[in-house]
Structure formats: C-alpha cells, structure tokens
Structure 1
Amino acid sequence: MAALAASLVCSAAALAAPPVFVLNSLDANVSILDPVTYAEIKRVPTGKEPHHIYLSPDRKSLLVANALSDSITLMDPNTGDIQRTITGISDPYHLRFSPDMKWFVTAANRLDHIDIYQWTPAAVGFDLKLVKRVPAPKTPSHIAIDSKSKTTYISLQDSDQVMAIDLATQTPKWTIPVGKTPADILVTPDDKVLLLALTGDSYVEAYDITVSPAKLITRIKTAAGAHAFRGQGDGKHLFVSNRTANSISRIDMQALKVVDTFPVPGGPDCMDVLADGKTLLVTSRWAGKLSVINLADKSIKRYPVGKSPHGVWTLNHAPTL
C-alpha cells in the first residue's frame, strides 16, 4: 500500500510539472522524461541529428534543430506533442532568437554560413523568412546575442575564431582569433563581457566587447574539453561542462574564476537547472545517460536515454543567467 501511495504521489506531481526533454542526436528523436522519476515516457521522432533545443519567445513552442534534415521541429513544451515541422532551414546546428523577437539566427555547422531570419507568429507556431546568409569561416558552432538585439556573436569551431555580426545590417563587424576549438559562447547580462568555452583546451576565455574588435581580458582555467554553458540562475554563477575531463566547473561571472567543481562521468555536455535552483540536469554524451546532480552534496543519479544525448531542457527551469 505504501509503494502504491508513493507511486500515486509521483504520478500526480508529474502531471503538475512539465516533462524533461533530451535530444538523442544519433537516434533522430527526443526522449520525453517524467520530471519526478526521470523514467522515459515516450520517444518522439524528429529529424536527423537533433543537437540543440530552444524555447520560442512566446513560450508556446519548443524548437528542436535537426541539422542533417534541414528542419526545425516545433513541440509543445508542456506535453512533448509535435506542433509542426519547418523545412528548408539550412543545417540548423545552433539557433537563437534576439531578445526583441525580431531576429532568428542559425549556425550552419557543416556548411560554413550564418543565416539571419525574420519570424512572424502563425496559427501554429511561427514562420521564418530568410533575410541574409552570411558566409563564415570554417565550422560556425554556437551563437550568442546581446540584450539590446544589436549584435550576434558566433564561435567558429575549426577556425579558432569568433565573429560578430550587426543584426540591423546583417553585416560582419569583426572576426578575431581565439583559443583552440571554441564552442559555447555567452554574453554577460551587462553586455560587457563575452565568455567562450574552448573544447580543444582547458579554458574559458573572457573578452571585453565594449571595444571593437573585442579584446581578451583573461583566460579562466577550467578543465579539459570546456564546452557548454548554463547560468545557475542566481545572476552570479555560470556552469561550464568539461567534456573530456568529465567534470563541470562553476564560474563566478564577476571575479572571472572557478569557484567549484562537480565530477560528472560520461562526457558531460548540455545542461539545464531546475526552477528550485537545487538540481542540475546534464546530458552525458558518451554514456547515453541523463545525469541529475544535487548541487548541495554533489551526488549524481543517472538515467538511460538514447544515443549521443545532446540538448536537455525543461520548462520548469531557473533563469538562464
């Protein structure tokens, strides 16, 4: 009876909370997980190589970027049901909306260009119209946009560079050399500092973007394979996954230094933080697992998902910074 009662409590809580989404890049689908037990509820087919996931500005659609299918799948963030699929989007490896909701930017990782779209709401989801295709050096990877929706920054993974593009004119502002194999990129809330994770090294680089071109401030020692960012949600701290070192570093964004480290096996990649600020969700890319970390005691529980899990997201999350 006690076990049945506990099961009913979990089921009721799951119904009240939105699910957890994990993109299985090599399975071409999304695992929809129970937010209490992390058991897989269902798998939803998308397109080939879904890598990153992102919420639309109106919070009505969750975007799954299917890089090899040249498409974006729109899903209901509360249920995981597919709303529609937008086709003809060239190699959408990474994607971002500008805060003013005017621009939508994608990085074509294998085709070496940046696409800038205008978006308009539709009866179901939204529509995209290509405004400008900007040629880029080799392997554009991750995208960041400043809070004023003026500039988008793109890491160029196999060129060891970062590019800045003016959104109003859709023209490059500058391109600078950076460290080895830059991946995730983030603008601090005050629009003064650009943070860059170096997957080919053991550092996060910090750049002053109040000047043009940007100027290196410091290199923050993290661990091997620094790759993806997720703000803790307190406005002060930033997590970076160290994919090769099997760890996550917590960075003080004001002091620009590492203040804590969390061991995470299996090639930690993308992350999300639950709304209570106590739990970190991490895809363990090489292990086919979702790692759930208790931030207070650093304990980890791991749950099976699909092959090469990449993006992870839930509507029940803390602020992104």
Structure 2
Amino acid sequence: MKKIIIAAIIFSIAISCSKHDTTPEIEVNYPAAFVINGESSTISVINLSSDETKTINLNTNNKLSALHSSKSDDIFFPHHIYLSPDGNKLSIGVPGVDLSEGHTGEHQTQGKILIIDAKNGNIINTKILEKPNHNATFSPDGKEIWTTSMEHHGKTLVFDAQNLSLKNTIEVGEEPAEVTFSIDGKYAFTANGGSNSVSVIDPVSKKVIKTIPVGVEPVGAWPAEDGNMYVDNEVGQTISIINANKLEVTETIELGFTPGYVAYNQLQNELWISNAGKSFVYYYTKINGKWSKKGSIQTGLDAHAIAFSKDGKTAFVTNQKNLTVSIIDVLNHQKIKDIPVGQKPNGIVIKN
C-alpha cells in the first residue's frame, strides 16, 4: 500500500513540474499585438479587444532546441518582428546581443531567424547566421525572408521562406541594420549604420541600384502610405525622408533628440517619432510643405517602436525600460493606458 501511495505522489509531482515548465498552448484567433521582449526572450500577445495578455516563451516553445539541447539553439535578445502577407506566420530577427542601448560596433555573436506560427506561437523553423541581424522580414509575396548581416562589410541576405535556404547574398554598406520594403513592394531598403547611407535593392534582380546618403547612423527606412521612406538617423538625431519613387532625399528633419522609431499615421497625416531613452512620442504635421513638431504624448520610459491599428485611431508604443506598451488615442493625442509586458520590449506588429 505504501508503494502505491509513494508512486502516486511521484507521479503527481512529475505532472506538476511538467505543467510548470511548459508554456501553455495558446490560440490567437483574435486581433492581437505581438510584442518582442528582448531581455526575457518572450513574446507578449495582447488581445486588442480585451487587453488580456498571454506570453510565449521562445526558448520553451523552441522544439528544435528541446530536441538538440544545444546552447547554439537558445534564443537571446530577439529584436524586431514582422507578419507574413497572409497573416499566418511571424518572422523575428535575433541578433543574440542587446541592441537597446545602440547599434554601433561589430558584434561577435551569431544571429538567427525565427519563423513562428502566428496562431499558436510555436516555432516552425530557425536559421543560425554567422553574424548578428537586426530584423527578418517577409518579401511582399511572402516567398522570401530578408535579413542583414551586421558586419563591417555588410550584407543583405535573402532566404527561401519555406526552408530558410540561402538564395542571395547582396553586398551593401557598413554595419547594416533594418531591411524594409516600400509600401508598393517595388524596392527594398537597407539602412547602413556604419556608412551613413541607405542601399536601394531591386527585389527581382537582387541588385543594389542606388546608394543614398542620409544622416549619421541610420537604423531603418520605414515605409509610409504617402510614398516616402522615413529614415531615423540615431546619432545624427535627424529624420531623412526618401521619396520611394524618385529615390532621393527630399527633406531632413532636425530633431534635437535621439529617435527610437518613426511611423507615419495616414488618418491624421502625422509623423510620430519616439524619443529614445525618454518617455515621449512627438507628433509632427506639415506646415507650408515641411514637417514641424506639433506636440508630445507621454509614454513609458525609453519609448521605442510605434504601430497603429488598421483604422489608424489607436497607437501602440513599446517602452523598453518601463516593461510596458502604451495604448494611445490618436485623435486626442492622449495615452489611454499602459499594458505590462516582458523585459525590454522592442519590436511590435499588429495582426487584425
């Protein structure tokens, strides 16, 4: 009888430990914001209808890591996140180093690409890279994954989205950070932080067709519905505006602060720029054809990425040192609330 009781206790403990150590299965069948938490290597999934938050632990959900039990499969400091055109998958760049304090210098860690099921949070595929990468994004047709190799002799890398086999290596500028696509998908833009330029790439031929000088240490060229690419120059504290058709800088905005991110709101025809290291987002409007600062909105400490809802009426801002996402009423330029997330939240993407 004692043996049966002991066995039952051991079985109960085993079941309890198993439940504790495993990230619960989730089902994302609702409009959601996916927030990358760099330091905790998690994704916070915010239900946009109820503000309820669920957490995906990337290392727990990494079935490949569990199978191989190798430290090289562990996920450290995931950075930016993108949604596939069909809305079924997420792509994440994992530089393996904390980029929240800046992007300069050639890091020695290996980067990674993660492909995740957007419905349940499970990792579908991973790819280990020789050098850190800033992001990983789907091509407009969803068939490719584009990323960068953040090294002195920079590269933009193109992978097959199904099996992550390398298709193309494109030489760009020094220490490239984000690679993005124009709204119409006609061009890809790689921000070269080490050479103060943006490489414009033809997605079909996979060739650089132009290199555009911008401000000091550009991080990303962010696409907008008005036909421009807005480049945040971190050290130069400026925004370079590139016309995505003419492929030339048409305006430079002097900020007087370090930009964390820049996003265009089509509904209000406003430019929103987060103040890295501080607790503000500034919004700009056009006066006599030039962008001018209109006002500010208080967020959490170290405001970073900005995303808008589909109707443009709500903004979401990740606050890296406040462990929150600020929800903002765009029309009234007022914060509604802060939602707690993981440690050092960075990238964010909205799934409607």
Instruction: Compute the TM-score of the two structures, normalised by the length of structure 2.
Output: 0.72
**Which whole-Å CA distance do the structure 1 matches of 2:297 and 2:195 have between them?**
30
Aligned-residue offset at 1:21: 2.0
- Choose the corresponding residue for 1:175, options 190, 197, 211: 211
* CA distance in structure 1 between the aligned counterparts of 2:272 and 2:333, rounded to whole angstroms: 16
Match of 2:173, SS? coil
Greater shift, 241-250 or 137-146, is seen at 241-250
Is the contact between residue 94 and residue 108 of structure 1 (CA under 8 Å) also seen in structure 2?
A: no
Instruction: Output the CA distance in 2 between the equivalents of 1:132 and 1:92.
Output: 16
Q: Structure 2 CA distance, aligned partners of 1:154 and 1:175?
A: 9
Deviation (angstroms), 1:51: 0.6
Q: Which residue of 2 aligns with 1:142?
A: 178
Q: 1:21 to 1:98 in 2, by over 3 A?
A: closer
Q: Is the 8 A contact 2:318 2:326 kept in 1?
A: yes
Distance 1:198 1:277 in 2: 25
* Of 33-42 and 105-114, the range deviating more from structure 2: 33-42
Structure 2 counterpart of 1:231, from 243, 257, 264: 264
Give the C-alpha shift of residue 23 in structure 1. Answer: 0.9
**2:182·2:229 contact (CA, 8 Å) conserved in 1?**
no
1:63 has 2:97 as partner = no
Aligned pair partner of 1:303 in 329, 334, 339: 339
Does residue 45 in structure 1 map to residue 85 in structure 2? Answer: no
Is 1:264 aligned to 2:264, yes or no?
Answer: no
How far apart in 1 are the matches of 2:150 and 2:142?
A: 23
Q: 1:59 to 1:199 in 2, by over 3 A?
A: same
Check whether the contact 2:182–2:244 (CA below 8 A) recurs between aligned residues. no
- Contact 1:224–1:245 at 8 Å: present in 2 too? no
Task: Mark the CA change 1:86 to 1:36 in structure 2 (over 3 Å): closer, same or farther.
Answer: same
Aligned to 2:30: 17
Q: Does 1:160 align with 2:196?
A: yes
5+ unaligned residues in a row in structure 2: which ranges?
A: 1-26, 60-74, 97-109
Contact 2:93 2:147 in 1 (8 A): no
What corresponds to 1:204 in structure 2?
239
8 Å contact from structure 2 (residues 299, 335) kept in 1:
no
Task: Evaluate the alpha carbon distance shift between residue 36 and residue 225 of structure 1 in structure 2; reply closer, same or farther with a 3 A threshold.
Answer: same
Whether the aligned pair in 2 keeps the contact of 1:185 and 1:194 (CA below 8 Å) is: yes
Q: Which runs of 5+ in 1 are unaligned?
A: 1-13, 120-125, 317-321
The alignment yields a C-alpha RMSD, in angstroms, of 3.0
CA distance 1:148–1:305, change in 2 (3 Å): closer
Change (3 A) 1:99 1:288: same
SS of alignment partner, residue 265 of structure 1: coil
Say if 2:37 and 2:342, in contact at 8 Å, map to a contact too: yes
TM-score by length of 1: 0.78
For residue 291 of structure 1, the aligned residue among 326, 335, 339 is: 326
Provide the residue aligned with 1:87 in structure 2: 127
State the partner residue of 2:155: 113
Deviations 1:140-185 (A, max 9, x none): 1122223454421111123222112222222222323321221221
3-state SS of the aligned residue for 2:232?
Answer: strand
What amino acid sits opposite 1:127 in the alignment?
N
Count of residue pairs brought into register by the alignment:
293
Shift of 1:25: 0.7
1:36-86 CA-to-partner distances (Å, cap 9, x unmatched) read 55454234224221111111122111222222264333333344x215122
Partner of 1:4: none
TM-superposition CA deviations, 1:76-112 (whole Å, max 9, x none): 3344x21512223554421333324454311223573
| Percent identity of equivalent pairs | 20
